[in-house]
């Protein structure tokens, strides 16, 4: 996450001298958008990360990479929106956050999203959902909800993270999305996909 925040800081400096049209798109109307509800009430204190990159900013980020970073351009080319909300957990909000994640899981299942990863181990609870396109050629959205009771290095305790990515996403890109944007849980999707590709080649 720190590397990603550094990238965002560079973007802020760049946009200080660059004028681009304000994005007024209502992304909530896209099929891959996930309504997390009122999670802003959890985002207080000094362990909070909130990121929202719309289509204009993602396009700008891809251009900043230049030709040498074609892999990054390929990953973000079909994306419309990236939202990341991360915050610290304590005895007061942990139960409510777990209930929020359960409600999101149920909502996504009812809307025909597919869970491709579920992790419950050593203080980690992670769900990764995708919304397949009608032809199953790609995904229209991705949602990650995770609770890490062990805490990340450099932090002072457990934390929760909610991620929503909207746009055209290929299965082969999910692991790279996790790598490029340091999103928890997506590395497991990459290893799962690599294993599937190896089995198909046999």
Q: DSSP states of 46-76 as a string?
A: S-EEEEEE-HHHHHHHHHHH-GGGHHHHHHH
Structural domain count of the chain: 1
Q: Write out pLDDT tens, residues 49-97.
A: 888 889 888 887 777 655 556 777 777 888 999 999 999 998 888 999 9
Q: Write out pLDDT tens, residues 97-136.
A: 999 999 999 999 999 999 999 999 888 899 999 999 998 8
In terms of residue numbers, what domain contains 161? 2-201
The pTM assigned to this predicted structure is: 0.79
């Amino acid at each position: 996450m720190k590397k990603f925040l550094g990238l965002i800081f560079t973007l802020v400096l760049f946009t200080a001298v660059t004028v681009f049209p304000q994005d007024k798109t209502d992304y909530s109307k896209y099929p891959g958008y996930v309504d997390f509800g009122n999670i802003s009430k959890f985002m207080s204190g000094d362990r909070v990360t909130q990121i929202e990159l719309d289509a204009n900013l993602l396009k700008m980020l891809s251009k900043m990479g230049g030709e040498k970073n074609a892999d990054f351009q390929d990953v973000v080319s079909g994306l419309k929106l990236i939202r990341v909300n991360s915050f610290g957990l304590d005895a007061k909000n942990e139960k409510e956050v777990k209930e929020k994640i359960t409600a999101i899981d149920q909502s996504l299942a009812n809307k025909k999203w597919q869970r491709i990863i579920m992790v419950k181990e050593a203080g980690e609870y992670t769900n990764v959902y995708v919304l397949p396109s009608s032809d199953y050629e790609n995904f229209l959205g991705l949602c990650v909800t995770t609770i890490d009771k062990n805490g990340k290095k450099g932090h002072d305790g457990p934390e929760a993270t909610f991620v929503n990515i909207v746009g055209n996403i290929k299965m082969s890109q999910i692991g790279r999305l996790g790598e490029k944007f340091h999103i928890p849980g997506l590395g497991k999707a990459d290893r799962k996909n690599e294993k599937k590709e190896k089995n198909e080649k046999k």
